[in-house]
Structures are given as C-alpha cells and as structure tokens.
Chain A
Amino acid sequence: MSINVLIVDDSGVMRAMILKSLRMSGLPLGETHQAANGQEGLETLSQHWIDLVIADINMPVMNGEEMIERMKENTEMRDIPIVVISTEGSKTRLEQLQQKGAAFIHKPFTPEKIRDTIKDIMKLGGSDGNQGTN
C-alpha cells in the first residue's frame, strides 16, 4: 500500500520542508499533492484519491479549521486522516482540533515527529514502541 498525501500550507517553503520530511520518513509514499489554502485543498480532495491530509491552520482564503469542518460534512472526505502542522500554541484551539479527530504537530517539527504521528494516526504500526499511548 502506498499513501497519497495532500499537503496544505500557504508557505511553499514549509510545504517543501514537510515533503522532504515525508521522503526521509521511510513511509510508503504514493502521489503527493500540494495546496496553498483550504479551498485549494478541498478542490484537490474532490479530484484525487487522498489517503492523508497534512494541513496548516493559519492560511488566507480558507483556513485549516474551516477546511477540516467542510471535510467532516462530506461523506467522501470525512474519514480521511488529518495531521495538523501549525504554530498554534493555545490549548483551547488544540482541544477543538483533537475533538475533530485531527492529530497535531507543533512547528518547528522534526522529521521523526512527522513519521511517528503519521504511523500512529494511520495505524501503520511497526514504530519503536510509541504505539498505544492512549
């Protein structure tokens, strides 16, 4: 199985950093798609088979929170695993995201953190004993 990934972030440099981390992760990457805001993200989701969404919060046009809400309203998109990578530091907002089922990674991140979070949320297992922490 290979994972088709959509990376949604308004910073092209950040998208490149995330993509590089994914390539280094050893995860079975399939197609990778990129979008610069939530609206572009939803368009990509409606056109391609995506197994995993990695999204920023703070973006122009449509932010990550709204994109996630729209995904949850859509029967084809609601079960796609979501990893939020953001600078968000407020506990209140993080809890809201977790209630929507998204995993969270804080910027700045390490490639290992991305790998482990994806393995965890996609239940890929085989990591170094980081499973089952809940």
Chain B
Amino acid sequence: MGTKEQIKETLYNVAEDVLEKLAFIFSFPEDERDQMDYTTAVATRVSFAGPFSGALVMAIAAEALPELAGNMLGIDEDEETTTEQQHDALKELINVVCGNLLPAISGKQSVFNVNMPEIVPEGESIIKDDRPQPVSVAKMDIDEGQCDLLLFIDGETAIQAD
C-alpha cells in the first residue's frame, strides 16, 4: 500500500474513470474545496475485508441522481427514473469503484471480500463519531453538483504518513 498521497491519486483516477465509463458523467477534481454538505447529499456505502478492511462511501448531490440513473439505464432524458432505480445505480457505481480501487491500492494478487453496497439512511451521519476519519477523500464537481468519495481503512496505522 502506498502513501496517503498515492492513495488519494488512485481514488481520483478510479472515480473519474468509472463515472465516465459506467455512467457517462464527467467529473473534475476539486481538491481544494470544502467537503460536501453531507446532510443534503445522498450517500452509499460499501464495506470490504481483505489484506486491510474498511469502507468506501460516496456522497453525491441528490440533483445528480436522475441523470446518473438515466445514463446507466440508457433511457431518454424526458423519461423518469424511480428512486429505486436511482439507488440501484448509485450502489452499482460504488460497487464498481470499490472493485477497481482495492486492487489498484493493494495489488492484483490480493483477495478482498466486498459486501453488498447500501444506501446510507437519511439522517444518519456518514462520518460516525466512533469511527476514525477517512484515510482519503476525493472531492469532485460534476454537472449537477458535487460528489465526494471517502475511503475509510480500519487500523489506519498500516498507512505511511505523508
């Protein structure tokens, strides 16, 4: 596993690649901006275990969900998607990001078990007080708002300080 700086770069690269290829959404890294307002965002979370364990959380502006789901389903712009479809799209998105991220950080020989992604219930804080702070955060701007990707790793000491 690399330095925090390398992990962050990998997080940005994988997120940009998957957003573009899976959802046809172009993202722009905005590393200097503040973290999103997570109380108004829709968030999805996936936990994993392997050489290291932790969770990946993606928060995205609620306004971006119709385009995200519509693009993935390949339907016309004037057709509406259901909340269920939007959540499904978001969960599959983080699933693919996580699946591509872990070997990029840990090496292709590593075996991880990735759990089922879940939507973070409204009102539940994505950064829990009893949890360590994220190891890395990628902050991106997309057409309809913002998107943050937070990587949590249990027992963060395995990572070299930068």
Contacts and interface: CB of A to CB of B under 8 A. Distances in A.
Contact of A17 (B74, B100, B116): B74
A17 B114 contact: no
B157 interface: no
A11 B95 contact: yes
A89 B103 contact: yes
Contact of B109 (A10, A13, A91): A91
B92 A90 contact: no
Interface residues of B, number: 28
Say whether chain B's binding surface is mostly helix, strand, loop, or mixed: helix
Contacts of B99: 86-89, 107
Nearest to A94: B108
A92 B22 contact: no
B42 interface: no
A108 interface: yes
B89 interface: yes
B85 interface: yes
- 4 A-B pairs with least C-beta separation: A87-B99, A89-B103, A108-B21, A11-B92
Interface of B: 17-18, 21-22, 69, 72-74, 85, 88-89, 91-92, 95-96, 98-100, 102-104, 108-112, 114, 116
Given A11-B92, A89-B99, 17 more contacts: A10-B116, A11-B91, A13-B88, A17-B22, A20-B74, A58-B95, A87-B99, A89-B102, A89-B108, A90-B103, A90-B111, A93-B111, A107-B99, A107-B100, A108-B17, A108-B21, A108-B22
